[in-house]
């Protein structure tokens, strides 16, 4: 038996939605899509699924295109909000997008560990995610891809700054969550913010950033990117989870700094919410 999913290409109708977030594509279960349609007064406008907007606030989405498809019977359940897989099949951009699929799978593991409240399993699965992000986002994207794109694209520096800022936020939230686990806490607010931010970031890269650069790199540049990414992967050394109960003075100080950063970020987001601005 197979289950249906729906790919929804949309435009955010919130008047304050920033340009880079205004359009996108999400995949949801067919049952969820039917509920979104049923609750809407306009059949071509839906409220965004929970988690689609960056801070979780539901926004009006104008439906541009809808495609239903059947999922294999043995397919893993999709999350309420995921990006669709890339249609590219070769080259550095396709490789990075394929790694996004692997990162989303790691997020699914973390979400399952959250559901059953297994702190020891979370201690391991979050370091797996941290390794994946350090290699993919840090070593490959920031150390290899962004410098080369800055050479060849007139807007490369600006895009790179946006990408790096989002990387920092995601990793900071992940570190803050792991620091809380060392005190025996599962901080749902921090990890949920990290999950939503990471899914939103992947969507932006897949459907905005990568779509901008894919047609602007020649074969020589593709080879440079692939070579640099392969070298980064070969040199990468994975971190190990370690003993959750052991926390050095340096880790305690770092946890305090991350906690202060998180509190400050939540204050800023609360102000944004009060101002009714879009929060992609």
Q: What tokens does 96 get?
A: 């990075």
What would the pLDDT profile of 203-239 be if each residue is shown by its tens digit? 888 877 887 777 778 888 888 999 999 999 999 999 9
Q: Contact at 8 Å (CB) between 63 and 39?
A: no
CA distances from 30 to 8, 36, 112 (A): 11, 10, 22
Q: What's the chain look like in SS3?
A: CCEEEEEEEEEECCCCCCHHHCEEEEEEEHHHHHHHHHCCCCCCEEECCCCCCCCCCCCEEEEEEEEEEEECCCCCCCCCCECCCCCCCCHHHHHHHHHHHHHHHHHHHHHHHHHCCCHHHHHHHHHHHHHHHHHHHHHHHHHHHHHHHHHHCCCHHHHHHHHHHHHHHHHHHHHHHHHHHHCCCCCHHHHHHHHHHHHHHHHHHHHHHHHHHHCCCCHHHHHHHHHHHHHHHHHCCCCCCCCCCCCCHHHHHHHHHHHHHHHHHHHHHHHHHHCCCCCC
pLDDT at 87 over 80: no
Per-residue pLDDT reduced to its tens digit, 142-183: 999 999 888 887 777 888 888 999 999 999 999 999 999 988
| Residue labelled with tokens 């969507």 | 203
Cβ 172 vs Cβ 261: under 8 Å: yes
Most confident option among 12-21, 86-95, 251-260: 86-95
- List the chain domain ranges: 3-71, 91-246
**Where does the pLDDT of residue 85 fall: very low under 50, low under 70, confident under 90, or very high at 90 and above?**
very low
| pLDDT digit string, tens, across residues 266-279 | 665 555 555 555 54
Structure tokens at 263: 């509190």
Residue 245: what pLDDT?
79
Task: Report pLDDT digits (tens) over 8-62.
Answer: 888 888 765 654 456 777 888 888 888 888 888 888 898 888 767 654 567 888 8
Could you give the CA distance from residue 196 to residue 52 in angstroms, rounded to a whole number? 8
What was the pLDDT predicted at 235? 94
pLDDT at 254: 63
pLDDT at 280 over 80: no
101-125: per-residue pLDDT in tens? 899 999 999 999 999 999 999 999 9
Please tell me the predicted confidence (pLDDT) of residue 249: 66
């Amino acid at each position: 038996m197979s289950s249906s999913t729906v790919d929804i290409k949309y435009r955010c109708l919130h008047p304050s939605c920033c340009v880079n977030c205004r359009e996108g594509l999400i995949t949801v279960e067919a049952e969820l899509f039917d509920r979104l349609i049923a609750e809407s007064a306009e059949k071509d406008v839906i409220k965004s699924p929970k988690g689609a907007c960056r801070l979780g606030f539901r926004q009006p989405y104008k439906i541009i295109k809808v495609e239903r498809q059947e999922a294999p019977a043995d397919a893993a359940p999709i999350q309420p909000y995921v990006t669709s897989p890339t249609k590219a099949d070769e080259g550095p951009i396709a490789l990075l997008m394929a790694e996004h699929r692997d990162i989303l799978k790691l997020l699914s593991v973390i979400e399952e560990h959250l559901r059953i409240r297994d702190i020891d399993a979370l201690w391991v699965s979050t370091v797996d995610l941290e390794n994946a992000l350090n290699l993919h986002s840090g070593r490959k994207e920031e150390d290899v891809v962004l410098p080369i794109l800055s050479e060849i694209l007139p807007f490369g520096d600006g895009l790179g700054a946006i990408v790096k800022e989002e990387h920092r936020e995601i990793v900071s939230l992940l570190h803050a969550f792991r620091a809380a686990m060392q005190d025996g806490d599962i901080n749902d607010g921090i990890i949920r913010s990290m999950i939503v931010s990471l899914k939103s970031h992947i969507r932006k890269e897949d459907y905005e950033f990568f779509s901008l650069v894919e047609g602007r790199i020649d074969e020589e540049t593709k080879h440079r990117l692939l070579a640099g990414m392969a070298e980064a992967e070969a040199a990468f050394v994975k971190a190990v989870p370690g003993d959750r109960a052991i926390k050095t003075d340096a880790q305690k100080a770092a946890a305090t700094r991350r906690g202060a950063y998180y509190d400050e970020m939540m204050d800023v987001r609360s102000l944004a919410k009060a101002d009714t601005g879009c929060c992609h």
